[in-house]
Structure 1
Amino acid sequence: MATIDGIVSGLGTGALIDSLIALQAGQQTLLSQKKATASSMVTALQALNTKVASLAEHAATAAKPATWQAVTAAVTQPGTATAAPGTTPGAPGAGAAGATATVRTGAQIGTLSFRVTAVAQSQASLVELPATFASTTPSFTITRGGQDVTVTAASSSVPDLVDAFNAPGTGVRATAVKVAVLDGEGRATGETTYRLQLTGTETGAAHAFTVAHDGADLTLGSVRTASDSAITLFPGSPSEQTLTSASTTFEGVMTGVDLVVTAVTAPGAEPLTLDVTRDQAAARTLAAGLVTNLTTVLSEIGSRTRATTGTAADGGTLVTGGIFAGNTAVRLLQQNILAQGSMPVGGTSPSDVGIVLGKDGTFTFDQAVFDAAMAADPEKVATVLQGVAARLAETAKAASDPISGTLTLSVTAQQGTVRDLGDRIAEWDDRLAARRASLERTYASLETTLSGLQSQAGYLSSYLASSTPSTSS
């Protein structure tokens, strides 16, 4: 119902009703403030929970013994350039060792000396084609590894012959090469022609091939002979022996280690050495990552707990605690993380292996200390860091578990509070709307009553005035 300010009474009824509603809406305002605070808490707890879950995941990985067994392989040779950090010796730009190595799961630390005596290659041959063909669609038989494959060309033209040999499954790739036509004495006539070059698609002696036409082998001009790779293990020792491979890769030459040869070891050159060592860079990254996750969680808690200083309405100093100030669950989590990250493992402090807790309650990673500890006793470092990581993984998991984690439950509780406050605020909206309607009806009725009273007063005044006798002079 629309309210018209007191036409009869002269009262500002609209402003009066607004003041009364504002007074009664104080409780709703308090509820809205509580909802805003609870919503901010939900957002803050969710952000923290995400970071704690990341810590739990990284720590769980770092707690696995296999994680600390990562190894790296390098091939070196006295007299060749040393590989730059982060490169593989033997690769382009990383020295001329003539071989590279890669590690797989289960690779073990060890050393192997060897020489590369041959690098596998595929056969490449020039085919002497007949001057004429008995058929307009000539056929050829390629024999490779005891298996025969027949190819038939659409015509005797060089392009069609190339297409026929390049069909899937032939085991060769063909290309036409322009060459000079020679006379009977081997001199160039000035004319050119095309010869067919066939190259095997696979390396190794077992993949050598011959080509026949009309039952007769064609003459093949050798460009490259199919051959296996070969390495000599333990060269110069009584245990020296040769290992061959149809490709350039020797799989499992050591446990979990594959070797790829790229060049023959020069005569008189020193043998190559394959070293499989602990991957210190990977271990360093793992330890540094653990500290980074620790720091992220503690910084998140610290920034949202830290008090801020402002000026009160009376000019005094106003100190306001962070949103996590007084939150028991967050405080306990902070204390547990600090304790689990700094307690000794087997009598060794984490600070002795590079995880340092400062006086300000923050963790830092001391790479120099870590590297020195790894050089002195890598097994001890791994044991300490696995212990620290296992404790942190358990603590972080207990807080961030998506079902039973303490932070997760806190988020759920705060979300319930937000919903409850929202419902109560909505109830107040209805209550205040009803109160406003009631006040509007009351003041409208007041104006109507006053209007009636004024009409009656006017009538009585007129009546009395007309009923009074006039006085003659």
Structure 2
Amino acid sequence: MGLAIDGLISGLKTTDLIDQLMQAEAVPQTLLKNKVTDSTTFITAMQTLNSKVAALADSAGKLAKPAGTDLHTTTSSSTAVTAIAGPGAVDGSIDFTVDRLAQAQVTVTGPMTQWPDQPPTLTFVASDGTIKQVTAASSSLADVAAAINKAGVGVSATRVSAGLDPATGEKLYRLQLSSAKTGADGAFTAYRGTPADVTAGTATNLLTEPGAAQVRQAQDAQLTLWTGTGAAQTVTSSTNTFSDVLPGVTVTATAESTTPVTLTVARDDKALSDAANTLVTSLNDIFGFIAQKQAVSTTTNSTGGTVVTAGTFTGESTVRDADQKLMDAVIAPIDGVSPSAYGISITSDGQVTFDKDKFATALATDPDKVKAALSTIAQRVSDAATVVSDKYDGTITTKIQGEQKTVKSLNDQITDWDTRLADRRSTLEKTYANLEVQLQQLQSQSSWLTGQLASLPSSGS
């Protein structure tokens, strides 16, 4: 930036003059900047609205699914048994005992300093007859354990310290072999030797070697329904979780129980009411946000006049359409019945209300009808919200994208104006600088002429 000195010859405040001229020149750019500010404010508000509507589309969509309204609670008479009720659960109760828990097979070898074979070759036979061979890099028990763990035979191996060899003083170790999964299907037999040796009957079963032991047998968990009656029936599971005791109910046992456990399943009216209330609350949050941004404000200026300021969404048809779509989705009748029959009503100020007592009464009278109605409303709301907020072609999304393009175009024009104004300022500075030069020349000429006139002889001499 050059150093500017106000007119030394003319006495004019050229910097102030240029600044005033530039302010007038910059009016179009200022208008563009104001448009960018307004558009940015609008975009931010629309993005906030879009996020709220998108979240509503997701939550309402989940509520509309069978799992959203098919809600039940479970209670157990024993802390050792828990249950979760999902879609398809039926109200009722059942008694059973927990006979045993599922467990994985655990086998340990006898103590040894290293694997007796070189190279160490083991064969694992699974409960379904599958045969897999494992060959270790060396006779080190650490290498044998690593080879087993990498082989994917459904068995994990751990080297465990087993003291010292009394004869040599060397460190002894055992290999603990554990099935990767619980249940009878996790059972395995481990042999020293190849699969061919196993088939030929010449392989050595590790459990037959000195010091080896079966620490834990692979077994399924087992429940007995209606214990002690003629209808007693056992149910097994490879894990401690049972999914086929009651429809839609998952039962998990953590301890055996010879005393019958009573499991009760009941409709969760509170959860249903909370789900309906949450839907209404989310809608009101959106309606309230729109109303706030549509509101027109009035202020008084310095002269006492009234200044009316439009809201960010005032007159915005895209927002108005979105508001109407969501409102129609929640208040439209379901099979000729108004949602108000289920406690969902619209107020005169455009808010949705939820009457928990009315909802509870309707639910007690006809639960299936109320759940179906709530699911229908949720689906309609989800569909309407998706049309508005879809990330590809939602009406609000499209509006935001269009406004962002406009802002980009305006910013490009502002940048062009920066160059234009800089050139204009440079021109003005040169013009006024040339003016000073011209004035200086004229002043010099004036001084010379004055001197010449003064040197002329007077008329009386």
TM exceeding 0.5: yes
CA spacing shift, 1:156–1:377, aligned 2, 3 Å: farther
In the alignment, the residues of structure 2 paired with residue 366 and residue 264 of structure 1 have an alpha-carbon distance, to the nearest angstrom, of 44
Q: Deviations over 1:432-451 (max 9, x none)?
A: 22222222222222222222
**Per the alignment, in what secondary structure is the counterpart of residue 17 of structure 1?**
helix
**Per the alignment, in what secondary structure is the counterpart of residue 10 of structure 2?**
coil
CA spacing shift, 1:420–1:115, aligned 2, 3 Å: closer
Structure 2 residues without counterparts, runs of 5 or longer: 104-110, 117-126, 130-158, 188-205
2:49 is the alignment partner of 1:57: no
CA spacing shift, 1:411–1:259, aligned 2, 3 Å: closer
**Per the alignment, in what secondary structure is the counterpart of residue 310 of structure 1?**
strand
CA spacing shift, 1:307–1:170, aligned 2, 3 Å: closer
Aligned length: 404
How do residues 397-408 of structure 1 correspond to structure 2 at under 5 angstroms?
397-408=386-397
Pick which of 106-115 and 437-446 moved more: 106-115
Correspondence for 1:100: 82
2:247 is the alignment partner of 1:255: yes
How do residues 274-285 of structure 1 correspond to structure 2 at under 5 angstroms?
274-285=263-274
Correspondence for 1:448: 437
Correspondence for 2:150: none
Correspondence for 2:34: 33
The residue identity in structure 2 corresponding to 1:354 is G
When normalised by structure 1's length, the TM-score is: 0.70
2:314 is the alignment partner of 1:322: no
Match of residue 114, structure 1, among 82, 92, 95:
95
How do residues 22-421 of structure 1 correspond to structure 2 at under 5 angstroms?
22-76=23-77, 90-91=78-79, 99-103=81-85, 107-116=88-97, 118-119=99-100, 155=164, 164=174, 167-169=175-177, 232-234=224-226, 239-241=231-233, 250-260=242-252, 262=255, 264=257, 266=259, 272-421=261-410
Q: Deviations over 1:208-265 (max 9, x none)?
A: xxx99888999x9xxx999987655346765444556787655522234344454545
CA spacing shift, 1:107–1:274, aligned 2, 3 Å: farther
Correspondence for 1:425: 414
Deviation, structure 1 residue 344:
1.7
Deviation, structure 1 residue 281:
4.1
Deviation, structure 1 residue 2:
5.0
CA spacing shift, 1:238–1:357, aligned 2, 3 Å: same
Larger Rg: 1
Structure 1 residues without counterparts, runs of 5 or longer: 77-89, 92-97, 123-132, 140-144, 172-200
Correspondence for 1:85: none
Deviation, structure 1 residue 33:
0.9
Deviation, structure 1 residue 387:
1.7
Q: Deviations over 1:10-67 (max 9, x none)?
A: 2222211111111221222111111111111111111111111111111222222343
The residue identity in structure 1 corresponding to 2:296 is A
CA spacing shift, 1:121–1:60, aligned 2, 3 Å: closer
In the alignment, the residues of structure 1 paired with residue 219 and residue 425 of structure 2 have an alpha-carbon distance, to the nearest angstrom, of 99
CA contact 1:113–1:235 (8 Å) conserved in 2 = no
The residue identity in structure 2 corresponding to 1:21 is M
CA contact 2:235–2:245 (8 Å) conserved in 1 = no
CA spacing shift, 1:317–1:461, aligned 2, 3 Å: same
Deviation, structure 1 residue 5:
2.0
Pick which of 414-423 and 372-381 moved more: 372-381
In the alignment, the residues of structure 1 paired with residue 218 and residue 402 of structure 2 have an alpha-carbon distance, to the nearest angstrom, of 74
**Per the alignment, in what secondary structure is the counterpart of residue 313 of structure 2?**
coil
In the alignment, the residues of structure 1 paired with residue 435 and residue 88 of structure 2 have an alpha-carbon distance, to the nearest angstrom, of 95
CA spacing shift, 1:358–1:459, aligned 2, 3 Å: same
- Percent identical across equivalent pairs? 36
Correspondence for 1:195: none
Q: Deviations over 1:57-116 (max 9, x none)?
A: 11222222343224343334xxxxxxxxxxxxx22xxxxxx6433446x54315353342
In the alignment, the residues of structure 1 paired with residue 207 and residue 387 of structure 2 have an alpha-carbon distance, to the nearest angstrom, of 74
In the alignment, the residues of structure 1 paired with residue 217 and residue 403 of structure 2 have an alpha-carbon distance, to the nearest angstrom, of 77
Deviation, structure 1 residue 377:
1.7
**Per the alignment, in what secondary structure is the counterpart of residue 377 of structure 2?**
helix
Deviation, structure 1 residue 272:
4.7
In the alignment, the residues of structure 2 paired with residue 278 and residue 466 of structure 1 have an alpha-carbon distance, to the nearest angstrom, of 122
CA contact 1:9–1:447 (8 Å) conserved in 2 = yes
**Per the alignment, in what secondary structure is the counterpart of residue 20 of structure 1?**
helix
Deviation, structure 1 residue 411:
0.8
**Per the alignment, in what secondary structure is the counterpart of residue 95 of structure 2?**
strand
Deviation, structure 1 residue 274:
3.0
In the alignment, the residues of structure 2 paired with residue 103 and residue 48 of structure 1 have an alpha-carbon distance, to the nearest angstrom, of 35
CA contact 2:182–2:219 (8 Å) conserved in 1 = no
Deviation, structure 1 residue 341:
1.4
**Per the alignment, in what secondary structure is the counterpart of residue 266 of structure 2?**
strand
Pick which of 324-333 and 437-446 moved more: 437-446
Q: Deviations over 1:307-364 (max 9, x none)?
A: 3332213122323221111111111211222222122211222233233323321223
In the alignment, the residues of structure 2 paired with residue 136 and residue 390 of structure 1 have an alpha-carbon distance, to the nearest angstrom, of 68
In the alignment, the residues of structure 2 paired with residue 322 and residue 203 of structure 1 have an alpha-carbon distance, to the nearest angstrom, of 66
CA contact 2:295–2:311 (8 Å) conserved in 1 = yes
In the alignment, the residues of structure 2 paired with residue 136 and residue 55 of structure 1 have an alpha-carbon distance, to the nearest angstrom, of 65
In the alignment, the residues of structure 2 paired with residue 330 and residue 38 of structure 1 have an alpha-carbon distance, to the nearest angstrom, of 15
Correspondence for 1:21: 22
CA contact 2:221–2:237 (8 Å) conserved in 1 = yes
In the alignment, the residues of structure 1 paired with residue 84 and residue 170 of structure 2 have an alpha-carbon distance, to the nearest angstrom, of 43
CA contact 2:164–2:172 (8 Å) conserved in 1 = no
In the alignment, the residues of structure 2 paired with residue 420 and residue 101 of structure 1 have an alpha-carbon distance, to the nearest angstrom, of 60
The residue identity in structure 2 corresponding to 1:253 is V
When normalised by structure 2's length, the TM-score is: 0.72
CA spacing shift, 1:427–1:162, aligned 2, 3 Å: same
**C-alpha RMSD of matched pairs (Å):** 4.6
Match of residue 462, structure 1, among 417, 427, 451:
451
Q: Deviations over 1:273-321 (max 9, x none)?
A: 4333334344334323322321222222122222333221312232322
Q: Deviations over 1:163-190 (max 9, x none)?
A: 63xx32278xxxxxxxxxxxxxxxxxxx
